[in-house]
């Protein structure tokens, strides 16, 4: 297929038929959406494997319980849309986060850290959490 634009990085190739979908190279270990197999991240972008227990956030003076389960923290992701940021109290303190979803199938995958209010958590800003329940390993995993 003809390229619709110059790739923003060596590893990402945009196609004209699906401009929302980036394809990561087959030579790298990647993570994909378990629901539709759209590429989400290159293994080289993995920062750490995190255990995400229950997290709570407060909105309009009410407390809500969020998802549970293990998740990975990534420097960057592809084929992901971002909702509006909101403040949530997570296990590691108050953060401004935005839910992220698969651009292909619209499944909520995790969140993006927009702002960390505690100095020890600043390294998370601009990073992405994807829950393991929503991704699968592709390309070169043994």
At 45-72, the pLDDT tens digits run: 988 765 444 333 332 222 222 355 788 8
Domain boundaries in the chain? 30-50+68-138
Task: State both tokens at 137.
Answer: 């390993």
pLDDT: which is higher, 112 or 25: 112
Assess whether pLDDT exceeds 50 at residue 13. no
Question: How far apart, in whole angstroms, are the C-alpha atoms of residue 113 and residue 72?
Answer: 13
According to the CATH classification, is domain 30-50+68-138 in 3.90.700.10? no
Model pTM score:
0.71
Question: How far apart, in whole angstroms, are the C-alpha atoms of residue 2 and residue 95?
Answer: 41
């Amino acid at each position: 297929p003809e390229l619709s634009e110059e790739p923003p990085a060596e590893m990402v190739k945009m196609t004209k038929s699906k401009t929302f979908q980036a394809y990561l190279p087959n030579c790298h270990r990647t993570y994909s959406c378990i629901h539709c197999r759209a590429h989400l991240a290159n293994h080289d972008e993995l920062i750490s494997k995190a255990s995400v227990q229950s997290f709570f956030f407060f909105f309009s003076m009410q407390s809500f319980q969020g998802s549970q389960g293990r998740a990975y923290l990534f420097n960057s992701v592809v084929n992901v849309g971002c909702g509006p940021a909101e403040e949530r109290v997570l296990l590691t303190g108050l953060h401004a986060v935005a839910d992220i979803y698969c651009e292909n199938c619209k499944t909520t995958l995790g969140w993006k850290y927009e702002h960390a209010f505690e100095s020890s958590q600043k390294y998370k800003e601009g990073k992405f959490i994807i829950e393991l329940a929503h991704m699968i390993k592709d390309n070169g995993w043994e």
